[in-house]
Structure 1
Amino acid sequence: MTLRPAWLLALLLLVSGLGVLAGVLTGSTGWADLRDDRMALILWEIRLPRSLGAWCTGALLGLAGAISQGLFRNPLADPYLLGSASGAGLAVALALAFTGVSAQNASLLQHVGLTGLAALGTLAGVSLTVLLARGVEQSLRLLLAGVVVGVVLNALTDLISLWNPDILRAMQAFLLGNTGLLGWSSVAVMASVGAVALLAGLAASPVLDALTLGEASARSLGMPLSALRGLLIAAFALATGAAVAQAGIVAFVGLVAPHLVRALCPQRHGWLLVLSALAGGALLLAADVIARLVIRPQELPAGLVTALLGGLYLLVLMHRRGLLQR
């Protein structure tokens, strides 16, 4: 089934709106009682910013995934390709290991800003990848450098966890993705970063269209590939950094959202970036609502739900394309 871009845009906006409504009305203890005066405070201060924050996180990851897949001409590329998630995880592990996880130090970390440390770790991971690749001119070299940086930084994070096992429980929420602590400040940060990243991506989207024909063909069109590639890397690193810093490592959204958009509405990258952002927001918002309902009054990590649903989607995709057949 192929949809027109405007129809898919309207459909995703409708799904997102319904998802926000479901997120506001759904809690770990059940559906909201709108007749309770105290419920208004809960809806406005907790559930609404959480739902909007989950949507913004998914939108950032969907946008970053669409950029990375176009930039590397690889449908399996995801936002964590250049060491961003590994850098964020190492920064969080270092912060927890050296400050401890006691109540006093936890309040200190909250004051200093664990999200800020995760953002710095994300930027450090991407910067190290670009430095190792000696710039952004060669996509293959950049891709390999990202794999190397990710493996090394993940190994360092594991070493820190072995050295200080007390941080494992605190690290778990970050590594599995957690939308439960998103507030209005998170929504403001991610919305601002998302607008900047989307504008940068749209400005450089012609180079993504040109790269579908091959790097040599793109160069023959006279485009400043190095400058535009650098702009695209900065855009998806910024988007990924903001999402990871606020909600932890949410799996599969950045990979699956562009796939769904291409399947429903194959378009040039200008439309693809916008629609992938909307699809990513809708996917994570749906996962957040499911995470609250499955085992309530407890909650599953939203990243665990996206990993399960994303894995099932890829299995179905592989089966339909005959990749699982002998």
Structure 2
Amino acid sequence: MAERRTAPSGAHAPVRRSARRSPGTRRATPWWLVGASLALVVSVVVAVTIGPADLSWGDVWRSIATHLGLGGPLGLEPLPLLQDGMVWQLRLPRVLTAAAVGAGLAICGAVMQSLTRNPLADPYLLGLSSGASLGAVLVLVLGVSVLLPVAAFGGAVLALVAALALAGSLGAITPTRTVLAGLAVSQLAAAATSFIIFWSATGDSYREILSWLMGSVAGATWTSVAIAGGAVLVLGTLLASTGSVLDAFTFGDTAAAGLGIAVNRTRWLLLVGVALLTGALVSVSGAIGFVGLILPHAVRLLTGARHRVLLPLAALLGGSFLVWADTLARTIFAPRELPVGILTAAIGAPVFAIILWRGRRAL
């Protein structure tokens, strides 16, 4: 599980190192954001055209325009029903869900790395994925998979409550206590999940559970788009607006308090925001690893550690990354599909190793 990664709470030197950027890099920042926005839009459209059915960019736009009521005013002929269903009912919801999940996980990872001052932190640090997995496995074993998003979200929230309660019982909620409490909750939830699978899962339920635990957006619908996209628009936007606060947290609680920030209350609020957003994302995709870990580090190499730039750019690149990872997952071994979590781990691990190697002198 992703939650087992820990590091000393003060180990955020790579961020400080990457913060020293030239004026030329800062002037290029708006172009990074524009380029990343265009890349995400192009990635979504192109990804929808990729697959066994022969679809073009024009087919995608015609389907979207028709369903938005713009086909008549624009003089566009509707697609044949089969092609329209392929675009509107199958591929587009899946691609948009992947984009939203990738964007949200990248934002959550950047926030967690700043709050805990831990370069190995990711959105699942507080045991959220283990809690979500426990809730999801319970409903899948009981045969009520229609409740899977609700159960996964509820499990993630309960894991957050347990981790923060444990950290709070030790005194003030510090980064070190938060990490250790999350590790304890993660291991307990993971053990409960493994026991349920061992005791109860058989046949089709076992395959369904395994696919969900590996992370997948294969079953995405417009409901999934609404859950993940709505969470990113609301909670992701709120988290992305805290850039100046997170800049202060990067250099420690004392520095943040010296700037007039209520450290404990702000940390609580941000942790709850990350947990709610992560819970919503995990509820529709399972626990997709490495996106929230490597994207913030990769973006810091481009723009430095200023969170007002880091957060939106990480969201845009995270969305594009997961769109292409999922596209590769569903086509590389066609007609069989891989859970996208396998590919993100296969890609993310060596990329993260390269990032660590580049920043080795600061570790």
Task: State whether TM-score is above 0.5.
Answer: yes
Is residue 193 from structure 1 mapped to residue 234 from structure 2 by the alignment?
no
Which of 4, 15, 19 is 2:43 aligned to? 19
Q: 1:318 to 1:223 in 2, by over 3 A?
A: closer
DSSP-derived class of the 1:134 partner: helix
DSSP-derived class of the 2:231 partner: helix
Residue 276 (structure 1) aligns with: 314
8 Å contact from structure 1 (residues 63, 239) kept in 2:
no
Distance 1:8 1:273 in 2: 12
Distance 2:209 2:248 in 1: 41
8 Å contact from structure 2 (residues 103, 314) kept in 1:
yes
Q: Which moved more, 1:162-171 or 1:40-49?
A: 162-171
Q: 1:203 to 1:25 in 2, by over 3 A?
A: closer
**Deviation of 1:206 (Å):** 2.5
What is the total number of aligned residue pairs between the two structures?
A: 312
8 Å contact from structure 1 (residues 24, 43) kept in 2:
yes
Q: Percent identity?
A: 36
Is residue 118 from structure 1 mapped to residue 182 from structure 2 by the alignment?
no
1:264-300 CA-to-partner distances (Å, cap 9, x unmatched) read: 1114212211111111111100101111221111111
Distance 1:321 1:213 in 2: 18
**Deviation of 1:12 (Å):** 1.3
Counterpart amino acid of 2:318? G
Distance 1:310 1:115 in 2: 26
Residue 210 (structure 1) aligns with: 248
**Deviation of 1:321 (Å):** 4.3
8 Å contact from structure 1 (residues 88, 119) kept in 2:
yes
Residue 102 (structure 1) aligns with: none
8 Å contact from structure 2 (residues 297, 355) kept in 1:
no
Counterpart amino acid of 1:7? W
Residue 199 (structure 2) aligns with: 163
Q: 1:292 to 1:203 in 2, by over 3 A?
A: closer
Counterpart amino acid of 1:138? T
- Runs (5+) with no aligned partner, structure 1: 100-104
Distance 1:59 1:66 in 2: 11
8 Å contact from structure 2 (residues 137, 196) kept in 1:
yes
Q: 1:41 to 1:146 in 2, by over 3 A?
A: same
Counterpart amino acid of 1:114? L
Distance 1:187 1:80 in 2: 21
Distance 1:31 1:66 in 2: 38
Residue 332 (structure 2) aligns with: 294
User: Which TM-score applies when normalising by structure 2?
Assistant: 0.81
Distance 2:214 2:272 in 1: 25
Counterpart amino acid of 2:108? A
Which of 137, 158, 176 is 1:140 aligned to? 176
Distance 1:272 1:257 in 2: 10
Runs of 4+ in 1 over 6 A off after TM superposition: none
Task: Spell out the pairing of 1:82-97 with structure 2 (5 A cutoff).
Answer: 82-97=126-141
Distance 1:171 1:232 in 2: 31
**Deviation of 1:36 (Å):** 5.3
Residue 130 (structure 1) aligns with: 164
DSSP-derived class of the 2:232 partner: helix
Q: Which moved more, 1:83-92 or 1:130-139?
A: 130-139
Q: Which moved more, 1:197-206 or 1:119-128?
A: 197-206
8 Å contact from structure 1 (residues 204, 231) kept in 2:
no
DSSP-derived class of the 1:292 partner: helix
1:52-106 CA-to-partner distances (Å, cap 9, x unmatched) read: 1110011110111111011111121000000100001111222233x1xxxxx3x
Counterpart amino acid of 1:51? V
Distance 1:292 1:22 in 2: 14
DSSP-derived class of the 1:133 partner: helix
8 Å contact from structure 1 (residues 291, 299) kept in 2:
yes
**Greater relative CO (CA pairs within 8 A, separation 6+):** 1
Distance 2:281 2:274 in 1: 11
Distance 1:238 1:165 in 2: 28
Q: Which moved more, 1:31-40 or 1:299-308?
A: 31-40
1:160-190 CA-to-partner distances (Å, cap 9, x unmatched) read: 1111241432211111111111111111222
Counterpart amino acid of 1:129? A
Q: Which of 1 and 2 has greater Rg?
A: 2
User: Which TM-score applies when normalising by structure 1?
Assistant: 0.90
Counterpart amino acid of 2:36? L
- State the Cα RMSD in Å: 2.0
**Deviation of 1:30 (Å):** 4.8
Distance 1:187 1:228 in 2: 29
Counterpart amino acid of 1:133? A
Counterpart amino acid of 1:137? I
- Runs (5+) with no aligned partner, structure 2: 1-20, 60-78
Q: 1:6 to 1:234 in 2, by over 3 A?
A: same
